[in-house]
Structure 1
Amino acid sequence: MKNLLFLQSRFQRITNVSISIWKLLWSKGWSFFLLYTILYFIHCFTSWDKLKLANIQIELEMVSRYGSVSFWQLYPFQIVSIYYLYLLYLCFSIVLVFLYLKFRSSKEPNKLFQLTKKMTQSFFFLILCLFIGNLSIGLIQESYYYSLYLFGFWIVLFLLFIKVNGSMFSQSMYFVSDTNPKFTKSFGYFIPIVWSAMMFWIVSV
């Protein structure tokens, strides 16, 4: 009985600490960005031997296809492309949100800043989950269903990103009296979908 109570108290303590950490991460606009950056460089440091081989493979593939290779395609500089992707996403989102606020004739100066903070959180939360998930699924790379697991994980994560973005946008705009919550949520869904389609089109060209 004592052991059971001890385990319950330990579990409750771990749960409370986890909830506190989760709330702390979402309370800071830069927390997921910082956490992803730290974990990325820890991974590069601990797996450098494997990453050097990966760099050689990337160089051979890029040179054979395009005749050259950019430094940001190699480890550890691949993180630069993530930062660049974030800036593109942020600029694209800000333009759409600015047009949205103009269309709604809103003059709230804090809305854009609040949305920028939350967009940063949601973007790097997605990247962090993608990073950890890819590493975890990579442990079963020899599995016959590896590609299926990876594709399924990406789809689920993308749908989660769309849902989070829609909820975030709706909550940020709830104080606009003449705004339909369903419309704002739909607009929040619209941003990552259009951005992803645009990125896919650019890459495929």
Structure 2
Amino acid sequence: MKTSLQFFKDMGVCDGAYAVLERVFAQAGVTEFDYAQGYQLMLGMMDQLEVEATQSGEPGHDTAEGWLQWCYDLRTRPEAIMYFGDHIEEDVFRTADGQVHETWEAAQEHDWRRYAALREDHAAARVINGVRFGEGGAETWEVVDPAHDDLAGFDAFVWHDSTTGLNHRTDSAAEAVAFNAAQAKTLEAIDVAERAARIECRITDESGAFRAWVVAENE
């Protein structure tokens, strides 16, 4: 991964560390420096870095250790790896659940199946049965949709509460409507999660040494 003085400035380096970098670049007579080589060089300048860091007084950069940690973290920052535009986009994709795929299409299909399964499980969990009483204690059950069906003709309502794992029975239509409304919010949450889910692509710097994940451009 290449670096330059402008690179470090754009990455947010503190003033004290930037002053050290200016001297390093000037002494080497270069405008670009290999990141790994430069990092090793910094490791050999701990005393000097400590003096500059103490003078800077900037939180996180007020010690040589803090400055080196910031520099170390550059290797995993996408904007650093992509800075010069010579990064490599690998055929490796990751969905929000951490699963890795060889193509964007495979990742997309995985997400589609994952959220479809969540909706299917949710649909099974929110089934409400309306109960009508008959002679001799007989009961007739019928699946109802409280959002659309008239519940006035039913004597009771039964459903399985997936949050408690228990079956619930009530003679209150209002309670059945409230349960259904709560379940509808769960479905809305699944929809929101699917819209927010992103497929990421793994990138490396031009040397292939440092990697990071970015949102796949196919989206």
Q: Please tell me the TM-score bracket, short chain as reference.
A: under 0.3
The structure with the largest helix share of the pair is 1
Q: TM-score, normalised by structure 2?
A: 0.25
Q: Which structure's CA Rg is the greater one?
A: 2
Q: TM-score, normalised by structure 1?
A: 0.26
The structure with the largest strand share of the pair is 2
